[in-house]
Structure 1
C-alpha cells in the first residue's frame, strides 16, 4: 500500500499546486481566513501544506488534515484566483487520501458505513428516515421531548438545529414520471430530484416542477437516479461518489432531454464536476462530459424562458437573498435568482452585505465543525439583520436549514422566515 506522500505524488498534480502564485487574492474571499486571520486556514496556506506533504517536507499530518477539515469547501477562492487554481478538486482529493489511510474506531466505521453506504445511496431508506422525522414532529413526541428537557443533553447549537428543521411534508411522490408543460412546450428537461430534496424538501421539488411547467417545460424525472454523491466527495468517500456518479449518468442517458435541472446548489455543483471525477476512466469520461454539458440550475432556465413575464405578486415585504456557495462559485449562477426575485410585485429586495460568502452550513460542517460554523453564521445574521428583511431566500437545502438555524439563534422565528427560491416563486404565482 502506498504511503500518504506517494498518494499525494500520484493523485495531486504538481503543476496545479505550482499554479498558486501566493498572491493573496483568495484571502478576503475565504471565510475561515477572515475568521481566524491564520494562513493555515487560508486557501494558499492549505495549498502550501499539500505541496509540503507531496514534497516530503512534512512527516506528521495531523495539522494538515485539521486544516483541510476546517475548510468549508465553499470554493469562493476559485473565482477570486487570477491563476484559475482548481482548489476544490485538490481539497477533495487530499481528503480522500487521508481518509483512505485512516484507522477508524469501530464506532466511526459504523457511523460512516451507515451514513455513506446504507442511508444516502438508498432512497427508500431516506424516505423511511424522513417518515420517522415526520412522526417525531407530528405525533406529539417532539413537544414531549422538549417539555421533559431531553434535548438539553445535546450541545446548544444542536438543540437550536432541532427547532430549525423544516416540517416534513406527508405528501407522496407523484407516481407519474412526466409532467407536461402548460401550453406550448419550449423545452424538455430531466429533473435531478436529489436525496434530501426529494424527502425532507419534497414540496420544494414539487414547486420546482410546477414552475418549470408554467415556463413551458415538459419535466421528466428518471426513476433510477440516486444521491449526487456530494456528501461522499466532500468527506473523503471517493469510491462511493464514483459509484453514484455512474448510476446517475446511466439514469439520465435514458432520457432524451435538452437540460438536466437542479434546484440545490450543492448537488448541482457536484453533478457539474462529474467530468473531473471520472476523467481517468476511459469508459465513463466522455459520458460524464455529455452529462455535465446539460446541467443547469432551475433559476437559469426560468430566466432563459422569460418566466418574469408572468404576473408575480406577494404581500408587501422586505426580502434578501443568501447565495448558495456552490451555485455561485462552481455553476456561476448569481444574477438569475436576483432577477427572478426583483420581478415580483410586493417584494422589496435589499441586497445583503457579503451575501456571496458562506453561511457556515457546508454539508455537515455545522455538525463536524460547530464552533467555526456558528461563528460564521452569527456574522451572517448580522448582515441579514441590517437589511431589515422579513424573508431570507436561498437556493440550497443546507443553506436553508442554516439560515433557519440563524433565525432561531436570534430568537426571531416569529418575525423572520427562510424559504427556498422555488417555494417563494410559487407563492408569487
Structure 2
C-alpha cells in the first residue's frame, strides 16, 4: 500500500495565494480549527495513525490541512483528498482530546467540500455510485440479497474451488466477504407497523428499521420490538420510512443526506411519539445530528432539532425506562465491542453494559484496545479495504484474546465486519446484538454458546 505521507509530499503544491480552497457553504470553521493545540493526545487514539505513523493521517494533521486549505496554502488535490478518505470518521480522537476539539463537525464540513470540488477517478466514481445506488435503498438491497443467497449456495463454492475468488478486485472481494449468510424468509420479512405494549403503556416509541438492518438483521429488529413491548412500550414502525442518511452524511454527500433526513422526519412526525429508537449506532449518531444537518432549511430546522432531541439508542431507552420484564439467567461470558458511533459519536458506553448486566449470569469481559475502530466505519471497508482489513483482524484478535463465549456489539456494520474475520479464522464464537441477548433472557431462551451463530445467521428465534 502506498504510504500516504509520500503521496502528500510529492503531490501537494504549496500556494501562497490567500484564496481559500473551500467555498462559502459551511467550510470548516476557523474557530473550531483554532481549538486544536497540537498536544498529540489524538495520535494513539487514531486508527490510521496507529497503522502508518504518519502525521498527515492523524486528526491534528488533518486539522492542519483544513487550516492550510482556508488560507490557500494547499490545493484540493489528490493528496489532500486521500488524507480525508483515509479517515474512518470513528471519532476516537474526540474522546481522547483534552481540549474538546469538535473534529466531527470539522470532518462533516470538509467532506462535502471535497465532493463538490474534486472530481474522482472514473473507477472510484463508479464504485461509489454502485454503493449508493444499493445500500440506502432497502428494496434494491432485498433483490441483491436474494441474488446473493443464490450466489452463496451455487456460485461461491465453484469460485472457491477454482481459486477465482482470490483474483477478484480488492473492493469487490471485500463486498463479497461481508455478505452474511442470508435466509430467504428474512429478505421479504416486514415488521408490523404497530405493536401494542404488554401491560400499561409507558412510552410511545417509533423504531427505525434501517436499510441493511431490515434486510440482513431482521432478527435484531424483531428482538428490539419484542423487548420494547415487554418493557411497556407501544411501538410504531412506519412502512413509509426510508434511509436515515447516515451513509451519505459519512462521506460528504450532504444533499442526499438532507433529503433522506427530511423524508424520515415526515414519516415519523405525524405519529406523536415520545421517542424514536435506533438499534444501529451509525444511524443513531446521524439522526441526533439532524438539527445541524438541516440548520439552513427554514421549513425543517426547528423540526429537525426537535426530532433529534427525541432520538435514543435502544440501550439508552432501556436505561431510562428501567426494567419491568423478568430476566431469565444466561450463564455466559460476553465480550462487548463498543461501536465507535455509539461510544464516541453518542457517548453511550455504560448503558449497553448495564442492560447486559441486568441479565442474571452474564459476565462482561473488557476487550483490549476497546476504543479502536473495527474498520467498518460506514462504507469504509468497501472503499478502503486494505486498512479496514488490518483493523478488522486486529479487532477480532483482541476480542478472542478474552476467550469469550459470546460476542455482542450494537451496530450492523460492526456485526458484518467482525463476523467476516471470525469466519476467516474459523472462530466458533456466536455474535449477537445486545438486544438479542436481552430478548433471549426475557423469553427464557438460551442462545447457543458453540458454533458460528449471529444475527440473521442462526440461533433461536
Normalised by the length of structure 1, the TM-score is: 0.91
The answer as to 2:216 corresponding to 1:200 is: yes
For the residues of structure 2 that align with 1:381 and 1:308, how far apart are their CA atoms? 35
Q: CA deviation at 1:56?
A: 0.9
The answer as to 2:173 corresponding to 1:147 is: no
- CA spacing shift, 1:9–1:224, aligned 2, 3 Å: closer
Task: Identify the range of structure 1 (40-49 vs 7-16) with the bigger mean alpha-carbon deviation.
Answer: 7-16
Pick aligned residue for 2:349 from 334, 338, 361: 334
Q: CA deviation at 1:248?
A: 0.9
Q: Deviations over 1:161-199 (max 9, x none)?
A: 745532223134346310111112111100011111111
Question: In structure 2, the residue corresponding to 1:244 is in which secondary structure?
Answer: helix
For the residues of structure 2 that align with 1:390 and 1:96, how far apart are their CA atoms? 43
Q: CA deviation at 1:405?
A: 1.7
The answer as to 2:434 corresponding to 1:421 is: yes
For the residues of structure 1 that align with 2:214 and 2:24, how far apart are their CA atoms? 37
For the residues of structure 1 that align with 2:131 and 2:177, how far apart are their CA atoms? 22
Tell me the residue number matched to 1:402.
417
Pick aligned residue for 2:182 from 168, 182, 189: 168
5+ residue gaps, structure 1, are none
Question: In structure 1, the residue corresponding to 2:21 is in which secondary structure?
Answer: helix
Tell me the residue number matched to 1:257.
273
Q: How does 1:14-413 map to 2 (within 5 A)?
A: 14-59=30-75, 61-105=77-121, 108-116=124-132, 118-137=133-152, 139-154=153-168, 162=176, 165-169=179-183, 170-171=185-186, 172-174=188-190, 176-307=192-323, 310-314=326-330, 316-412=331-427
Task: Identify the range of structure 1 (101-110 vs 123-132) with the bigger mean alpha-carbon deviation.
Answer: 101-110
Q: CA deviation at 1:336?
A: 1.1
Task: Identify the range of structure 1 (382-391 vs 198-207) with the bigger mean alpha-carbon deviation.
Answer: 382-391
For the residues of structure 2 that align with 1:339 and 1:175, how far apart are their CA atoms? 27
- CA spacing shift, 1:108–1:43, aligned 2, 3 Å: closer
Task: Identify the range of structure 1 (216-225 vs 256-265) with the bigger mean alpha-carbon deviation.
Answer: 216-225
Q: Deviations over 1:51-107 (max 9, x none)?
A: 101101113632221111111100111122233222122213212111212334555
Question: In structure 2, the residue corresponding to 1:392 is in which secondary structure?
Answer: strand
- CA spacing shift, 1:309–1:123, aligned 2, 3 Å: closer
- CA spacing shift, 1:369–1:292, aligned 2, 3 Å: same
- CA spacing shift, 1:152–1:18, aligned 2, 3 Å: same
For the residues of structure 1 that align with 2:22 and 2:429, how far apart are their CA atoms? 51
Q: CA deviation at 1:278?
A: 1.1
For the residues of structure 1 that align with 2:333 and 2:175, how far apart are their CA atoms? 25
Q: Do the aligned partners of 1:320 and 1:391 also contact (CA within 8 Å) in 2? A: yes
RMSD over aligned Cα, in angstroms?
Answer: 2.3
Q: CA deviation at 1:308?
A: 7.5
- CA spacing shift, 1:135–1:424, aligned 2, 3 Å: farther
Q: CA deviation at 1:45?
A: 0.9
For the residues of structure 1 that align with 2:430 and 2:172, how far apart are their CA atoms? 19
- CA spacing shift, 1:8–1:55, aligned 2, 3 Å: farther
Q: Deviations over 1:291-312 (max 9, x none)?
A: 1000001111122222376223
Q: CA deviation at 1:233?
A: 1.4
- CA spacing shift, 1:52–1:163, aligned 2, 3 Å: closer
Q: Do the aligned partners of 1:269 and 1:327 also contact (CA within 8 Å) in 2? A: yes
- Size of the alignment, in residue pairs? 422
